[in-house]
Amino acid sequence: MFNNLTQRLSDSLKKIINKGRLTEENIKETIREVRKALLEADVALSVIKKFIENVKKKSIGHEINKSLTPGQEFIKIVKHELIFAMGEKNHSLNFSIEPPAVILVVGLQGSGKTTSLAKLGKWIKNKYKKKILITSTDTYRAAAIEQLKILSDQIEIDFFESDKHNTPIEITKNAIKYAKLKLYDVLLIDTAGRLHIDKKMMNEIQQIQVISKAIETLLIVDSMMGQDAINMAKIFNNDLLISGIILTKTDGDSRSGIALSMRYITGKPIKFIGTGEKIISLEPFHPERIADRILGMNDIMSLIEDIEEKVDQSQIQKLTKKLKKGHDFNLNDFLTQIKQMKKIGGLNYFANKFSINHQLSNNTSLLNTDKNTLKKIEAMICSMTPKERIKPIIIKGSRKRRIALGSGTQIQDVNKLLKNFDDIRRIMKKIKTDGIAKVIRGIKNMLPKKF
């Protein structure tokens, strides 16, 4: 979503990075380019005007931090204004109410509302360990209730069966009564997609909001809609007083202006962004991290959170204990780590998270891997004998042919796997001799520096 804006801003800011001081004259061209980049990203004109005005005001005559160059200070100002436009901080969900805390999900039909509700349920379950109930009041769309039931089964969250012959108001009342009876912590209510100009449907959802006493009313916004989404959000907010926004389809080719405009125009925070089709592809919206991503900086905190939530920590602890006891890192251990990496999203996940695709386009060994790379590695290791996994040094010509044949790969794939494994094993040995802190410092020095 942010790739085009990142590239445009990077090109613009390069021109000022090494300037000795900031003057109205030497920032004029850069500000002009920044304005163009924001316009191309479909940022609302009122937001661009205020953004440029603030950057100018804070740049000219600004006292320079001693640890930064004037050019770096200018980029710091741009970053601050990006954060300010997007809401300055992450706004978490509000559960401070006597259970069940009711969360209402609203939006236009086709915005990804039902899937987003399931993703949100999964996220709340993983993050807060809450007892959750899901229900649907969408009696208008064929199979809408069944779709949510299937999703709730996938994420292993209880589903309140709503009768399509009941009205949405009756379903809401029955679900709340059941949630209280069974002591649920959270009740997630999916509503029918509706046009913001449909007064009858808007009146219905207002009644649901009042009856449910929803502590959160989240508006699902399709980021592909551009400026139309902002107008829609303003009307929904006027009628319903929404508490926050979930942006969907941010992994697509949509321009990023909506993320920069939505908070400023509506006054409501973006709480989450949908980053893919998988049920785990939902992230809390952190303005500072998004600003870092837009400016081509590294999104390390978001990566760490993903690892903490999706990786089996017990497996990491087992490996750590094994290495401490002096055992060698073998292909069985490597296979375990490959399975963990698949949970996060694979090699391309790291490239996207760190926004380094354009920086490493020439590094074919690192990024030119198709989406089945991890599956191929897993298949090759599974085609090895127990002895080969423990002592890969014995894998020579005939063994390589057998492994390639058994895994449906080529001998050169097996060679590449063994080489990569050898590199990783050397790192593991270094951890044993130098300690993890020294190795991490070495890795940190390889990463691009923040301004």
Q: Can you give the CATH number for the domain in which 208 is found?
A: 3.40.50.300
Q: Which of 229, 225, 221 is nearest to 254 (CA)?
A: 225
Name the DSSP letter for residue 64. Answer: P
User: Does 11 reside within a domain?
Assistant: yes
Which pLDDT belongs to residue 15?
A: 65
Q: 257 or 449: whose pLDDT is higher? A: 257
Q: How far apart are CA 368 and CA 358, in angstroms?
A: 12
| 130/70 same-domain check | no
Omega of the bond prior to 392 within 30 degrees of 0, cis?
no
Structure tokens at 30: 């850069």
Q: For residues 269 and 68, is the Cβ–Cβ distance under 8 A?
A: no
Which pLDDT belongs to residue 10?
A: 67
Pairing between β-strand 244-248 and β-strand 186-190 as defined by DSSP bridges? unpaired
Which pLDDT belongs to residue 360?
A: 37
Q: 201 or 337: whose pLDDT is higher? A: 201
User: Does 179 reside within a domain?
Assistant: yes
Q: Which residues contact 422 (CB under 8 A, 6 or more apart)?
A: none
| 172/236 same-domain check | yes
- With 60 as the cut, is the pLDDT of residue 204 above it? yes
Instruction: State the residue range of the domain holding 405.
Output: 312-446
User: Does 60 reside within a domain?
Assistant: yes
| 178/255 same-domain check | yes
| 342/199 same-domain check | no
| 66/191 same-domain check | no
**Lowest mean pLDDT, pick from 18-22, 135-139, 355-359, 439-443:** 355-359
Cα angle 398, 403, 408 (rounded to 5 degrees) comes to 130
User: Does 94 reside within a domain?
Assistant: no
| 391/319 same-domain check | yes
Q: How far apart are CA 319 and CA 326, in angstroms?
A: 11
- With 50 as the cut, is the pLDDT of residue 34 above it? yes
CATH number, domain with residue 80: 1.20.120.140
User: Does 91 reside within a domain?
Assistant: no
Q: How far apart are CA 77 and CA 51, in angstroms?
A: 10
pTM of the model: 0.64
| 221/268 same-domain check | yes
SS3 state at 106: strand
Within 10 A of 113 (CB to CB), how many other CB atoms are there?
A: 26
| 73/154 same-domain check | no
| 332/211 same-domain check | no
- What is the rounded average pLDDT of the residues 120-146? 91
Q: Answer positive or negative: Cα dihedral of 432, 434, 440, 444.
A: negative
Quick one: pLDDT band at residue 406, thresholds 50, 70, 90? Answer: very high
- With 60 as the cut, is the pLDDT of residue 357 above it? no
Number of domains in the chain: 3
Quick one: pLDDT band at residue 176, thresholds 50, 70, 90? Answer: very high
- What is the rounded average pLDDT of the residues 305-330? 61
Q: 397 or 20: whose pLDDT is higher? A: 397
User: Does 303 reside within a domain?
Assistant: no
| 254/331 same-domain check | no
Which pLDDT belongs to residue 68?
A: 54
| 141/272 same-domain check | yes
- What is the rounded average pLDDT of the residues 2-30? 68
| 348/432 same-domain check | yes
Return mean pLDDT, the chain.
Answer: 78
